[in-house]
Amino acid sequence: MSRTQTLFVFLLLVVGGGLAIGFVTQPGQWYESLRKPWFNPPGWLFGPVWTMLYVMIAIAGWRIYQIAPKSGAMAAWAAQLALNFLWSPVFFGAQRPGAALIVLIALLAAIIAFIALSWPRDRLSAALFLPYAAWVSFAFLLNAAIWRLNG
């Protein structure tokens, strides 16, 4: 498979998977009824932010895959993607904000591991994960506040 075809597969997996999970686990009435903290962003912001992050996640994974497909960095990349895709079903689908916090802790650990493991091989891939780490840290604070306000 060519580099371009491989990039397309990564984009399809990450962006397509993220959008599909978002579609299947939409916030809905349960989420609307929850008390939210003052710093809760407007709902329309999440789609564009996650789409941009998913593109960066795909590119970072593709780059590391080209360099070291069987590396610890690639394992951390796969782990973060699985955890990322797990959060919405736990939070929105199962309506379990407390359990979703645990997923976010593991997700943030996998993101940090990817950054640390990819940095020596490809700093651009590591740098592409920095906004993702910041957003997931914010998501953790938001999720924790929602859990506390509604617990």
Q: What is the model's pLDDT at position 1?
A: 81
| Amino acid found at 11 | L
Specify whether the CB–CB gap between 107 and 76 falls below 8 A. no
Give tens-digit pLDDT for 25-79: 988 899 999 999 999 999 999 999 999 999 999 999 999 999 999 999 999 999 9
Joined together, the tokens standing for residue 53 give 């992050």
| Amino acid found at 53 | L
Q: Burial level of 65, CB count in 10 A (0-12/13-18/19+)?
A: buried
Which of the four pLDDT bands, split at 50, 70 and 90, describes residue 138? very high
Distance set, CA 56 to CA 42, 59, 94, 108 (Å) = 22, 5, 28, 16
Model confidence at 123: pLDDT above 90: yes
Which of the four pLDDT bands, split at 50, 70 and 90, describes residue 125? very high
Q: What is the model's pLDDT at position 60?
A: 98
Specify whether the CB–CB gap between 37 and 149 falls below 8 A. yes
Specify whether the CB–CB gap between 37 and 145 falls below 8 A. yes
Specify whether the CB–CB gap between 48 and 131 falls below 8 A. no
Domain extent, residue 143, equals 3-150
Q: What is the model's pLDDT at position 35?
A: 97
Specify whether the CB–CB gap between 119 and 76 falls below 8 A. no
The domain spanning residue 20 has which CATH number?
1.20.1260.100
Look over the chain and give the mean of its residue pLDDT values, rounded to a whole number.
Answer: 96
Which of the four pLDDT bands, split at 50, 70 and 90, describes residue 87? very high
Model confidence at 151: pLDDT above 90: no
Share of the chain above pLDDT 90, in %: 95
Domain count, the chain: 1
In this prediction, residues 85-98 reach a mean pLDDT of 97
